[in-house]
């Protein structure tokens, strides 16, 4: 079943002034054991970026919160034949960069290297060993747990960590998205080496992996490399993720948490949409206008420019595998906390009822469409898109159709999407700050 599906897309972007052309040629390949690869050739720089994405984010932690992150941070700390130092040497001696990341949905293992075989081969060899033969030495597990505990403890003194953790807990309760990926002191204490080994075996495997590659390599080399990576991954049916049985459920609640800081950290929001929702792009454009475009957005204009209340205020909609959040965030000195909360609620209700003005909508659409070449102007950007398209099962022409879809969005679409997805009367409002910030 050696099937090669090649899909080529040229993106042509029309702007009012003249023709801009930005091409991303995305090719797809499926390895012998079924791992999907999306790759793009970028000839001008002799380097390669590989990102292997696993359906193994912290939603798979189960009761042992922090397990996914701990496992990923230990991947390069020992194989059956090499210790941590030798592994680091293998990458560093050629200037290669190995890294891992974990969020609530997914995890990834990445390698950046020079493309020349002399540099690339040793680090790829190392990468394959990590994927197939990571052994999680006892002493490394103890050390990494200790560092994680230290980090969790430090976070407790940081108002932005305290407030965001509390906010997501309020929005999602005991659902997987309600817990920070790093875990808690109690859960990290409970994690044993065998839990980590099991997580690795169950999740770092070919059945839930996809690969994105941006490089100056030839097609033949990319296919060879992909087969090697895919072969190094074991196969087992992956553990189910923790994303089932979750119904959208928003409620109105105000929470004040006392914290010894000069500024109050404020979050307002609730659950919004999944990846793939038909309302995603209308919400994206609506949010762009409301709080998602820096100084062009209403929130910045009103709270920073007009009133000098804050250095930064923003909103975002973050669609995830299951229902992601809608968030408005601001930091302001404690005395101004309640004024800011009132203003934001008022602005939200107004936007929800009336949507953007025609002028705002035209501006936003032009900005997004004209700015499209900037989204794909580096290998790093393209790599992240390839990985996202693969992981969230988006159509391979996602980038190709993006600006066209944006151009068709109307005020009506935005109003409808906000009415359907953002319940402005049932939002969580959290204020973390000193006594002066209290209602």
Partner 1 sequence: MGFIKIINILKYFIIFNISVITIYCISFSARAEIMERTLKNGLQVILKKDTRAPVVTSHIWYKIGSADEVSGKTGLSHALEHMMFKGTKKNPGGIFSQTISKLGGKENAFTSKDYTAYYQTLPSQYLEEALKFESDRMSNLVVKKEDFLKEIEVIKEERRLRTDDQSEGIAYEQLYANAYANSSYHDPIIGWMEDLDHMTEKDISDWYDNWYAPNNATAVIVGDIDFDKTIKLVEKYYGAKKPVKITERVKRNEPYQFGEKNVSIKIKGKPSYIIMGYKVPSLNNKNIESWECYALSVLSGILSSGQNSRLQKILVREKKIASYADSGYSMFSRNDPLFLIDVNPIIGKKISIIENELEKIITELKTKLVTKKELERIKAQVLASEVYQRDSIDYQARVLGMIKTSVGDTKIIDQYTANIAAVTAEQVREVAKKYLVSNLQTVVKVNEKIQ
Tokens of 13: 């972007």
Taking CB under 8 A as the rule, does residue 45 contact partner 1? yes
Q: Which of residues 115-154 bind partner 1 (CB under 8 A)?
A: 119, 143-144, 146-147, 149-151, 153-154
Taking CB under 8 A as the rule, does residue 71 contact partner 1? no
Taking CB under 8 A as the rule, does residue 426 contact partner 1? no
Contact predicate 226/35, CB 8 Å = yes
Taking CB under 8 A as the rule, does residue 331 contact partner 1? yes
If the CB atoms of residues 78 and 270 are measured against partner 1, the closer one turns out to be: 78
What's the Cα-to-Cα distance from 340 to each of 68, 154, 298, 308, 333, rounded to whole Å? Answer: 37, 28, 14, 11, 10
If the CB atoms of residues 4 and 157 are measured against partner 1, the closer one turns out to be: 157
If the CB atoms of residues 300 and 417 are measured against partner 1, the closer one turns out to be: 300
Among 293, 338, 384, 429, binds partner 1 (CB under 8 A): 293
Taking CB under 8 A as the rule, does residue 290 contact partner 1? no
Taking CB under 8 A as the rule, does residue 175 contact partner 1? no
3-state secondary structure 208-236: HEEEEEEECCCHHHHHHHHHHHHHHCECC
Among 34, 173, 276, 312, binds partner 1 (CB under 8 A): 312
| Main-chain dihedrals φ then ψ at residue 256, nearest 5 degrees | -115, 130
Contact predicate 296/287, CB 8 Å = no
Contact predicate 200/234, CB 8 Å = no
Among 257, 307, 345, 411, binds partner 1 (CB under 8 A): 307
If the CB atoms of residues 344 and 368 are measured against partner 1, the closer one turns out to be: 368
Taking CB under 8 A as the rule, does residue 12 contact partner 1? no
Contact predicate 98/65, CB 8 Å = no
Tokens of 329: 């965030």
If the CB atoms of residues 164 and 230 are measured against partner 1, the closer one turns out to be: 164
Site track 333-372 with partner 1 (rule: CB under 8 A), x = hit: x-----------------------------x--xxxxxxx
Q: How far is the CB of 216 from partner 1 (least distance, A)?
A: 10
What's the Cα-to-Cα distance from 336 to each of 262, 265, 332, 436, 437, rounded to whole Å? Answer: 11, 11, 6, 9, 7
Tokens of 15: 């702007």
Contact predicate 65/183, CB 8 Å = yes
If the CB atoms of residues 142 and 353 are measured against partner 1, the closer one turns out to be: 142
If the CB atoms of residues 198 and 296 are measured against partner 1, the closer one turns out to be: 296
Taking CB under 8 A as the rule, does residue 68 contact partner 1? no
Q: Which of residues 78-117 bind partner 1 (CB under 8 A)?
A: 84-85, 88-89, 92-99, 112-114
Taking CB under 8 A as the rule, does residue 46 contact partner 1? yes
Q: How far is the CB of 230 from partner 1 (least distance, A)?
A: 24
Among 18, 80, 237, 247, binds partner 1 (CB under 8 A): 18
- How many CB atoms are located within 10 Å of the residue 206 CB? 22
- Taken as a whole, the chain contains a residue count of 439
Q: How far is the CB of 193 from partner 1 (least distance, A)?
A: 16
Q: How far is the CB of 22 from partner 1 (least distance, A)?
A: 6
Burial 307-338 (b: 16+ CB within 10 A, else e): eebbeebbbbbebbbbbbbbbbbbbbbbebbb
Rounded distance between C-alpha atoms, residue 322 and residue 319, angstroms: 8
Detail the DSSP E strand segments found in 274-393.
Answer: 313-317, 325-333
Contact predicate 42/35, CB 8 Å = no
If the CB atoms of residues 133 and 393 are measured against partner 1, the closer one turns out to be: 133
- Residue ranges of alpha helices (H) inside 117-246 are 117-133, 138-155, 159-172, 185-190, 193-203, 219-232
Instruction: Report how many residues bind partner 1 under the rule CB under 8 A.
Output: 78
Among 22, 30, 128, 197, binds partner 1 (CB under 8 A): 22
Taking CB under 8 A as the rule, does residue 187 contact partner 1? no
């Amino acid at each position: 079943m050696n099937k090669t599906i090649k899909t080529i897309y040229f993106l042509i972007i029309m702007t009012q002034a003249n023709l801009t052309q930005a091409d991303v040629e995305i090719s797809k390949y499926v390895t012998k054991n079924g791992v999907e690869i999306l790759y793009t050739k970028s000839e001008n720089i002799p380097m390669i970026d590989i990102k292997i994405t696993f359906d193994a984010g912290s939603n798979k932690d189960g009761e042992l919160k922090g397990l996914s992150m701990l496992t990923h941070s230990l991947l390069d700390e020992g194989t059956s034949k090499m210790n941590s130092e030798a592994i680091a040497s293998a990458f560093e001696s050629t200037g290669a960069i190995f890294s891992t990341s974990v969020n609530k949905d997914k995890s990834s293992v990445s390698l950046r290297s020079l493309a020349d075989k002399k540099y690339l081969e040793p680090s790829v060899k190392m990468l394959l060993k990590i994927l197939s033969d990571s052994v999680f030495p006892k002493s490394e597990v103890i050390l990494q747990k200790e560092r994680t505990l230290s980090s969790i403890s430090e976070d407790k003194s940081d108002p932005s960590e305290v407030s965001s953790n509390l906010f997501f807990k309020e929005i999602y309760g005991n659902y997987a998205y309600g817990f920070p990926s790093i875990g808690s002191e109690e859960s990290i204490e409970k994690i044993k080496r065998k839990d980590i080994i099991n997580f690795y075996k169950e999740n770092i495997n070919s059945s839930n992996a996809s690969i994105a590659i941006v490089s100056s390599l030839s097609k033949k080399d990319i296919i060879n490399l992909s087969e090697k990576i895919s072969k190094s991954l074991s196969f087992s049916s992956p553990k189910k993720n923790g994303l089932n049985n979750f119904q959208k459920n928003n409620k109105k609640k105000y929470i004040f948490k006392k914290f010894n800081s000069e500024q109050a950290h404020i979050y307002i929001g609730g659950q919004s949409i999944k990846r793939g929702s038909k309302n995603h792009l209308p919400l994206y454009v609506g949010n762009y206008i409301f709080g998602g475009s820096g100084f062009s957005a209403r929130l910045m204009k009103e709270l920073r420019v007009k009133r000098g209340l804050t250095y930064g205020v923003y909103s975002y909609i973050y669609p995830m595998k299951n229902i992601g959040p809608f968030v408005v965030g601001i930091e302001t000195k404690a005395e101004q906390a309640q004024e800011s909360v009132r203003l934001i609620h008022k602005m939200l209700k107004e936007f929800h009822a009336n949507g953007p003005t025609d002028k705002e909508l035209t501006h936003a659409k032009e900005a997004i469409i004209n700015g499209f070449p900037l989204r794909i102007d580096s290998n790093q950007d393209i790599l992240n898109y390839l990985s996202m398209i693969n992981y969230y099962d988006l159509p391979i022409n996602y980038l190709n159709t993006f600006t066209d879809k944006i151009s068709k969005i109307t005020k009506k679409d935005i109003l409808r999407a906000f009415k359907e997805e953002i319940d402005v009367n049932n939002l969580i409002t959290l204020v973390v700050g000193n006594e002066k910030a209290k209602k």
